[in-house]
Amino acid sequence: MTILVFGKTGQVATELSTLPDTLCLGREIADLSDPDACAAAIKIHAPKAVINAAAYTAVDRAEDDETTALAINGSAPGAMARACAALGIPLVHISTDYVFEGGGTVPWQPDAPTGPLGAYGRTKLAGEQAVQAAGGAHVILRTSWVVSAHGNNFVKTMLRLGAQRDALTIVGDQIGGPTGAREIAVACQSIALQLIDDSRKSGIYHFAGSPNCSWADFARGIFKHADLECGVTDIASSEYPTPAVRPLNSRMDCTSLKATFGIVRPDWANTLTHILTELGPLNDKS
């Protein structure tokens, strides 16, 4: 049984490539800026299911390049979903907490009203809507704060800076659930396999690490796990301006994912342990 994966070098796609019965397509074969090519790839490979783990994820750059981001995050998933619907196969599409406006303190339910704050969120929401409109079996899996031993992410940045400095100032008013790319990959595969057997499980679900924390608290956890003596001072998001506004509340309610697919929120402390083990000598201070 083959599950076709769009994406090859991203954090989640890298992890999916290590799982059995997956075929990952890189940009050289299926460029998401060409939605028709993505649809053609699905028809050629005729898989049992499709996972879209590719996206335009440069949140700040998207503010000045929304047209490209929309093609990759909006049009391409729509083309994939229509191709999957035509073949009668399920699609698992990874989305983001950025589709919400990020206010309050209550975890976001999958059916909560959306209200993206910037271009990245708008284009990801467009992708969700296109997948739903295609009418085929699908799961839109929203996740947040993705980390791994691969690519560029918060954990690797903190490990580098924590080894170089005695103290850092980190945003403390954005709250969310750090989520391991490995855990996302395994969840996507499980969802795809279950959708093959029961398309009635289609819908939008949330998947994020536990417990919820601030970026500053997450940094402290990273330094503790890595045995790095680096102090952390909380600052407000307003003290660290970026081109794209980040949501303050990225808490995700993952109850329905557990109830429907039996997938529970992973403990990000365990995720950190696995990442540090995989990175190995890179974090050996001796």
What is the dihedral angle through the alpha carbons of 176, 11, 72, 192, rounded to the nearest 10 degrees? -90
Residue 97's nearest CA partner among 150, 57, 41 is 57
Pairwise CA distance, residues 213 & 222, whole Å? 12
Pairwise CA distance, residues 103 & 250, whole Å? 9
Burial class (CB in 10 A: 0-12, 13-18, 19+), 84: buried
Identify whether 120 is a catalytic site residue.
yes
DSSP 183-206: HHHHHHHHHHHHHHH-GGG-EEEE
Scanning the chain, the segments in alpha helix (DSSP H) are 11-16, 35-45, 66-70, 76-87, 119-134, 154-164, 181-197, 215-226, 255-261, 268-279
Tokens of 260: 């429907």
Of 56, 98, 120, 205, which is the active-site residue?
A: 120
Assess whether the previous peptide bond of 266 is cis (omega < 30° from 0).
no
Residue 252's nearest CA partner among 266, 242, 240, 270 is 266
Catalytic residues: 120
